[in-house]
Amino acid sequence: MELREVTKVLPTQQLRERYSDLTHRLTGEKPVTSSQVRDFYTNLERQNETDPDPAALEAIEFHRSFYDINLNPQDLARIECYSDLSPNHPSYYLTDGGKDKSLLHVAKRFIENDVPNNMEPWKLENVRDMIKQLKAGQSFPAIILSERPKGMRPDGKIHVIDGVHRLLALAVHQLQNPDSSMSQSAYIA
C-alpha cells in the first residue's frame, strides 16, 4: 500500500477526538474543558503562593478537553515520571539515570531512600509529609495528566502535567499499603 493510500485510511484528529468523546461518555467519565483545567491549575498554584508553570499551561492549552476521572492502582503502573539528566537532581537517581521512569519504580527507590543527601532540593520532605497525610486519610487536589503530551502520539503511558509529588506520595502509599483502597481524582486528556 502506498503512503497516500495509508493516509486516507488513518482517522483524522477530529475523528479520533469524536471517538474519544463518545467512549468517555459511554464509560461515564465527565468531560471538562481545557480552560476549566487551566483555571483549576492556576488557582491551585496561587494557593501554594507560586506562579503557574508556563510549560504546564501550554500543555493544558494544547488539549481541547480533559476528563474528570478517579485513578486506580492499575493506572499508577502506566504513569511515567519526569527525569532530569543532571546527576545533581534527585530524579536522576530515582529513575536510574532515566532508564526506568515508571512511577512504581521511582516509588520503590524513594522507599529505599535512594537519594543522596547532597542533592539539590526537590521537595522530598514535602513528599514525606504528603505520605503522612494519606495515612491520616486526607486526600489531594486533582492531578493533571495526558496520554498525548503536546500532540505526541499515544505510547500507552500517562504523562504528568501537574502533580508529580502527589503521585509519588500516592504510589509510595500504595506500595506500603497494598490492601488500601486508593481513590485520587485526576484530569486526563
Question: What gap in Å lies between CA 143 and CA 115, rounded to an integer?
Answer: 24
SS3 9: helix
Least confident of 12-16, 55-59, 74-78, 151-155: 12-16
Domain boundaries defined on the chain: 12-188
Quick one: 108 exposed, middle or buried, by C-beta within 10 A (0-12, 13-18, 19+)? middle
The answer to whether residue 73 scores a pLDDT higher than 70 is: yes
Q: What is the pTM of this model?
A: 0.73
8 Å CB contact between 78 and 167: no
Question: What gap in Å lies between CA 24 and CA 13, rounded to an integer?
Answer: 16
| Average pLDDT score over the chain | 77
- Rg of the chain in Å (alpha carbons): 18
